[in-house]
Amino acid sequence: MSGAKRGGGLLVAGTTSDAGKSVVTAGICRWLVRQGVKVAPFKAQNMSLNSFVTLEGAEIGRAQAMQAQAARVEPTALMNPVLLKPGSDRSSQVVLLGKPVGEMSARGYHGGRQEPLLGIVTDCLEQLRGTYDAVICEGAGSPAEINLRRTDIVNMGIARAARFPVVVVGDIDRGGVFASFFGTTALLSPEDQSLIAGYMVNKFRGDVSLLEPGMEMLRGLTGRSTYGVLPFRHGLGIDEEDGLRVSLRGAVRESVVAPPVGEDVLRVAVCAVPLMSNFTDVDALAAEPGVVVRFVDRAEELADADLVVVPGTRGTVRALEWLRERGLADALLRRAAEGRPVLGVCGGFQLLGERISDEVESRAGEVDGLGLLPVRVRFEREKTLARPSGTALGEEVRGYEIHHGVAEVLGGQAFLDGCRVGSVWGTHWHGSLESDGFRRAFLREVAAAAGRAFVPAPDTSFGALREEQLDLLGDLIEEHADTDALLRLIEDGAPAGLPFLPPGAP
């Protein structure tokens, strides 16, 4: 296909959220680039608190950044033009082309503000189509959300605009996959149904031959093929959009890994604060042999932890209140007094400081922090988006910053633009622990402070582990999908004459 005309593409939709759209999109990207195809990922609209900063200083969803890595291209704002970052159950910050443009309620967004964005997202897609041989788009939720179809810009709205064929992914591990495939198709308008090329079964356990009669009946009912049955694999995934899972922890903990190098394991507790963002920061810790990472929400769960991480959050003041309500704040204060390690990242760093002045995020005004670090934080309307690099603990470090809070550091030892006091560290830098040398040096410090005979493995490469995971996703597509048929879809579009399934959209 590398010699074919540019601009082919495909939309990967799903019967539900978390059906596997992100991993299938990443897998198709990795498989295509192996074939010499210049490919880019695209998600018109993403809702996630896990985000990433591109080289041009734009904020996009981390899933799209990892899909870009799967495609072996540099991520850009074009790949995720609209990012919604929830701030409550009813409102989100809207990030447009990588920059925040304001807060909006769900009713306001879907009540008319979303429609004008279709032109912006289609323009971004067209720019990618003009540069790449193929663009693999990821949908959101389900394309059959009939209450939202009029303003849809991420599922059938973008497929219709680009005339892209659609493959619907279903998670058979949840059950009901055939009904979901049929129902998803039958709830779409005739125009939308004409682009639904077929289906892909995800997370199948067992003998595929037992599934074949169902797929044949589905073809008879819908006139559409199943383009692959992907087997269930532990630990496969890319950086999660939301939730409490640690993507690489699954890959490491559920596969054969080397035992700890030293005599002890190291236990890491991550405070599961409200509106937790970029919790993937701890993936690099979980990738280390002998490091056990878990999320906690009770004070007693900190008792046996060698390191406590307070992660990023879209609600620093709210997270601070939550820590106090649950007794976790007092537990952190006791840890610090005893010289036991604590790491705060971004919002977690801010709440470890002395004082927070916030008229932007929570509008709470002046709020006392935990006072563990000599830092005062003032929230600004302009968001800091950066890709810093530097040194710490004698090692090179790279990271990225996404925050409204500006920290004034009044003392302590310098640490990645933040500071350190004893065994309490704080920084605005996300992703710093992905720097292998720095992570090992940091873990040695933690182990010493915790009194553990833990020794970091000398050869763990987080980047190599991530590449291996993306290769596994590519293998999944190559070995278990009808790749010839997928190529035809990408190059030629949906098959002509696909039948209409009643009743269609109401």
Distances (CA, A) of 220 to 215, 216, 398, 403, 433: 9, 6, 54, 52, 52
Sign of CA dihedral 82, 85, 86, 91: negative
Q: Which two tokens stand for residue 261?
A: 């190098």
Quickly tell me which residue has 């670090």 as its tokens: 373
Helix (H, G, I), strand (E, B) or coil at 165: coil
Burial of 411 (0-12, 13-18, 19+ CB in 10 A): exposed
Q: How many angstroms separate the most distant Cα atoms in the chain?
A: 72
Catalytic residue among 124, 137, 271, 346: 346
Q: Which two tokens stand for residue 176?
A: 């009901």
Residues 259 and 475: their CA atoms lie apart, in Å, by: 27
Distances (CA, A) of 287 to 378, 433, 468, 486: 34, 11, 13, 33
Contacts of 205 (CB under 8 A, 6+ apart): 173, 231, 232
271 is catalytic: no
Crossing angle for the helix pair 462-480 and 21-34, to the nearest 10 degrees = 90
Contacts of 480 (CB under 8 A, 6+ apart): 228, 229, 230, 231
419 is catalytic: no
Helix (H, G, I), strand (E, B) or coil at 224: coil
Catalytic residue among 403, 428, 430, 480: 430
Strand partners, 53: 59
What's the full length of the chain, in residues?
506
Q: Is residue 53 within 8 Å of residue 40, measured between CB atoms? A: no
Strand partners, 47: 84
Q: Which two tokens stand for residue 492?
A: 């030629």
Residue 158, amino acid: I
Give the active site residues.
346, 430
